[in-house]
Structure 1
């Protein structure tokens, strides 16, 4: 008979545990189902796949030691990175605060007082009671809220998701920062090359101007033609000044992005390297769900997790709130008797609070929490769709930039030969000065376009890595179906 009772008692305890475990209010999170493509619609070759096997430090593909140094400096000193890191520490502390709510709170309390009452007041003390009283109190207080309905557990789940969201946001800042540093550096290198090209043209026109002055002196050239030559030199000088201003502004912007001090912003100079032109193609076997590792998508999903958990926090307000309080200590009017047995005190108490009528306040709170969750769900789905759109645009931009560079290089080479022939024709008196200037302007513009196309191709590679959330490894490609 005793065995039967013990079995019934054990079964009852097991049932109670299951009931309590099932009392966690609110829906459990489940990742939304999305219609994702199985592969990238891109043409591949072995060399491109091998070059694309990059890690998070994708900028090493450019084989530029100066760029590597600038990226390391930006990651160490940029203000946005430091703010994001501090925010992670803040959210981690908030998680600790939320987790602490699930444990009892114990505190020590001690007090000592000495008071004197009036013997001639409205209510005078009897003569046998001394007017001066001493009071000593020492206790150990404890309080604890039973989390039967999972309110505190859901709050901790939401806080943990907030921490993961903050860490993902920090990674997003890191990815954006490294992309901006690379692209601004490429722009600066391109401006340097454009300034060099304009300077070469300026030197050529200044040399021609000196020759024209000698021709004027011997009567082989009119003053009209000399003034035209001087105007041509001034036009190139004006163009060079504009490029110098653009380069100075670009250098200042990059210096600020590196997080340098105000003194360094005013005085320091940025070194330049020679970045290569990598052609990076997404491997055909790369699974499309790898894109979900993008930090901004992880941030959006963790915000969705947090808001989903806070629905449970809101729903838990429907159920009773049960709290336990207790204290254990001593009280005495004489400190010498403070720790004797007659001075000991204790109390154990329980408190149950059940909402009866609140004019629908809890219901509205639940509705608001569900509405916030639904908004985050829509934003997450839109963020995933936008991410795939970014990848598609990045792939197209890289291919387009590569083709533009090829065409502009061909055009520049052709105009270079035409310029040489026009120079010879002008010196031989076959071609006019206007014909030479026209070919010269076209050749300069072709050089500038080719240099800008190089910058665009380098930037397109950086945009692609940003769209993919960083680089990937060979084992990532092997995971594809």
Structure 2
């Protein structure tokens, strides 16, 4: 019984040690990440003072709290725009680069996560070895056991010690070694947590890039259609100026006016015609801008986009969702939160570096002078046991690293607040611009109608000699300016709606949907 008790005590101690180790490996030092709370208003601020007045708002398109469209560009009902937007995700080089960066972060997470598991390494070697005769002679006088030789070589040296020289030896060796760091303080777990947060940040960065390129494509498309409309207006006014020149020439031939009216009409025609090459140049540059977004060479989309189309109109109702969803919809806010999570986990990694590291190691090797004896147990050599390393003096490196990670965490927290605040400013500014430009467009539309009627009256009265030609020229200039401003405003309204949806953070859900697992990793076996 006494003997069994003495045998049982080490086993009990070993079991207690394993239980304690298992308990400790479930702990992680450092702060735990808590998702920051985000303030949001009860509703969107339209900044339309007429909404609270006794007359309806003059805008023709209003925002509503309905769920926003995932493919928001479809609200413009423009097939060409929708086709271009569908090609951005797979063709834009910036989006593809962001995808590569995401793959890099996932690979880095796999590298970091490998520290959670034991490592097992196999090795084998063969050496054809000749022992120095001088070394053997010295060993005969001092004792062979003092020679710094491996086991098989030393045995061979003893066997041949009586000769003048020793023969060459075949030394065969193979084996396996294993190592596993016990993550007692959670250092590796914090590193993995940090890596997962970095993967999430890379995913959100790719979504942010996609949103920016989708919005840029829509704005470039609106600008292209607006410039094409400006070109049509210039050509229409060119025809009107030609008719006016013809009228002034007829009146000059009939002696009803002077050469001055003819030259003024010709000057107006030349001024209007001079605008056409400028618009054609802008159209070519805008086609190139769209081609670049799709990774195409210059003028690759000219045949597809050269047909003049009007600026896509905005819908009467624009669904924008509710304010409380903004922080979870915008990828830049989600990315800033992931960066904060990664920085918080980094503090835990720095804290864990102050604690000891315990590593279990083991090795089993077989050594023999003959290959046929390599697989037999008498040729085995093995070792196993734990090792511990404790930082005693690091010259302040660990404390500096901890201070650095805490400062990075504070920086990430401020950056998160800044990103959220910037998001609200973006939406507020976009809502203001969308409503204000609509009111400006409506006023310009009335101005164009009035200018067109004024020109018809001026030409009719000039033809009957009731007005001077200067009135006709002024009416032409006024109409051309009003038409150009209206076209620009119409394009700006559609562009402002694009900016509103970009500020709301929509457009990524269909192409890069959120994953079900928090770390964004596919669960596959690691090697």
Q: Does 1:85 align with 2:89?
A: no
8 Å contact 1:40–1:282 — kept in the other structure?
Answer: no
8 Å contact 1:54–1:472 — kept in the other structure?
Answer: no
Pick the aligned partner of 2:396 from 360, 382, 397.
Answer: 360
Distance 1:271 1:107, change over 3 A: farther
Structure 2 Cα separation of the partners of residues 151 and 59 of structure 1: 46
Which residue does the alignment assign to 2:29? Answer: 25
Q: Does 1:346 align with 2:350?
A: no
Q: Does 1:99 align with 2:113?
A: yes
Deviation at 1:431, TM superposition (A): 1.3
Deviation at 1:122, TM superposition (A): 9.4
3-state SS in 2 of match to 1:352: strand
8 Å contact 2:29–2:351 — kept in the other structure?
Answer: yes
- Offset from partner CA, 1:261-289 (integer Å, 9 cap, x none): 35727887555655222244456x82424
Length-normalised TM-score, structure 2:
0.81
8 Å contact 2:173–2:367 — kept in the other structure?
Answer: yes
3-state SS in 2 of match to 1:113: strand
Deviation at 1:360, TM superposition (A): 1.9
Matched residues, number: 466
Which residue does the alignment assign to 1:277? Answer: 314
* Worse overlay, 317-326 or 249-258: 249-258
8 Å contact 2:228–2:308 — kept in the other structure?
Answer: no
Distance 1:134 1:15, change over 3 A: closer
Pick the aligned partner of 2:69 from 55, 70, 95.
Answer: 55
Which residue does the alignment assign to 1:476? Answer: none
Which residue does the alignment assign to 1:76? Answer: 90
* Worse overlay, 112-121 or 424-433: 112-121
Which residue does the alignment assign to 1:424? Answer: 460
Which residue does the alignment assign to 2:153? Answer: none
3-state SS in 2 of match to 1:28: coil
Structure 2 Cα separation of the partners of residues 178 and 433 of structure 1: 50
8 Å contact 1:279–1:461 — kept in the other structure?
Answer: no
Which residue does the alignment assign to 1:258? Answer: 294
Which residue does the alignment assign to 2:500? Answer: 464
8 Å contact 2:44–2:322 — kept in the other structure?
Answer: yes
8 Å contact 1:95–1:159 — kept in the other structure?
Answer: yes
Which residue does the alignment assign to 2:81? Answer: 67
- Offset from partner CA, 1:409-433 (integer Å, 9 cap, x none): 1111111111111111111111111
8 Å contact 1:278–1:461 — kept in the other structure?
Answer: no
Structure 1 Cα separation of the partners of residues 91 and 243 of structure 2: 47
8 Å contact 1:66–1:272 — kept in the other structure?
Answer: no
Distance 1:263 1:350, change over 3 A: farther
CA RMSD of aligned residues (A): 3.0
| Structure 1 runs not aligned, ≥5 long | 474-481
Distance 1:141 1:150, change over 3 A: same
Structure 1 Cα separation of the partners of residues 373 and 402 of structure 2: 54
Deviation at 1:26, TM superposition (A): 0.9
Structure 2 Cα separation of the partners of residues 51 and 413 of structure 1: 35
Structure 1 Cα separation of the partners of residues 303 and 280 of structure 2: 17
Structure 2 Cα separation of the partners of residues 17 and 336 of structure 1: 43
* Worse overlay, 352-361 or 162-171: 352-361
3-state SS in 1 of match to 2:465: coil
3-state SS in 1 of match to 2:41: coil
Q: Does 1:323 align with 2:337?
A: no
Length-normalised TM-score, structure 1:
0.89
Which residue does the alignment assign to 2:517? Answer: none
Distance 1:51 1:59, change over 3 A: farther
Deviation at 1:255, TM superposition (A): 1.6
Which residue does the alignment assign to 1:249? Answer: 285
Which residue does the alignment assign to 2:514? Answer: none
Distance 1:373 1:356, change over 3 A: same
Structure 1 Cα separation of the partners of residues 63 and 15 of structure 2: 62
Deviation at 1:227, TM superposition (A): 2.6
3-state SS in 1 of match to 2:489: helix
8 Å contact 2:65–2:319 — kept in the other structure?
Answer: no
8 Å contact 1:54–1:61 — kept in the other structure?
Answer: no
Pick the aligned partner of 2:214 from 164, 171, 178.
Answer: 178
8 Å contact 1:138–1:329 — kept in the other structure?
Answer: yes
8 Å contact 1:55–1:472 — kept in the other structure?
Answer: no
8 Å contact 2:211–2:508 — kept in the other structure?
Answer: no
Deviation at 1:321, TM superposition (A): 0.8
8 Å contact 2:211–2:505 — kept in the other structure?
Answer: yes
Written as runs of structure 1 = structure 2, the 5 A alignment for 1:404-423 is: 404-423=440-459
Distance 1:336 1:130, change over 3 A: farther
Distance 1:420 1:52, change over 3 A: farther
8 Å contact 1:408–1:450 — kept in the other structure?
Answer: yes
Distance 1:288 1:318, change over 3 A: same
- Offset from partner CA, 1:192-237 (integer Å, 9 cap, x none): 1111011011112123334444555555554433332222211111
Distance 1:245 1:333, change over 3 A: same
3-state SS in 2 of match to 1:99: helix
Structure 2 Cα separation of the partners of residues 28 and 232 of structure 1: 73
8 Å contact 2:64–2:318 — kept in the other structure?
Answer: no
Q: Does 1:159 align with 2:163?
A: no
Q: Does 1:302 align with 2:338?
A: yes
Structure 2 Cα separation of the partners of residues 97 and 424 of structure 1: 82
Q: Does 1:110 align with 2:124?
A: yes
3-state SS in 1 of match to 2:358: strand
